[in-house]
Structure 1
């Protein structure tokens, strides 16, 4: 059974980016997150992270259609 919520570290590992970059995505509202527990740890729902990834695939497809460089 997979976990419903992921930590910032989990997100960073899945996306192959730095944790600070995940915090930036959260701050910009690109990856919805909540603060949980007494330490107010940021966590994202697995489904929300997957939605973000799908949106990024759509951005990539659109760029290819317009023949824009990455």
Structure 2
């Protein structure tokens, strides 16, 4: 059974990016996360990560629509 919360390293592996990229996403507020425990370790809720991924799919689809690929006859 998968847990509700993920460590930043697990999020990085899931997104195939570096740990530092995920940390930046969390610190900038782009990816919602919480700090837990006495040492303030970051955790990302699995459902929030899935929502983030869906948001990025929608943003990418919008970008593709507004920036169509143009054939070049060079």
CA shift digits 1:32-65 (9 cap, x unpaired): 1111112211001000011110110001100111
Give ranges in structure 1 of 5+ residues lacking alignment. none
How far apart, CA to CA, are the structure 2 residues paired with 1:32 and 1:53? Answer: 12
Q: The residue matched to 1:29 in structure 2 has which SS?
A: coil
Is 1:24 the equivalent of 2:20?
A: no
* Higher Cα Rg, which structure: 2
- How many residues align? The count is 69
5+ residue gaps in structure 2?
Answer: 70-74
Q: Distance in 2 between matches of 1:50 and 1:22?
A: 14
Query: Which segments of structure 1 move beyond 4 Å, counting only runs of 4 or more?
Result: none
Pairing of 1:1-70 with structure 2 (within 5 A)? 1-67=1-67
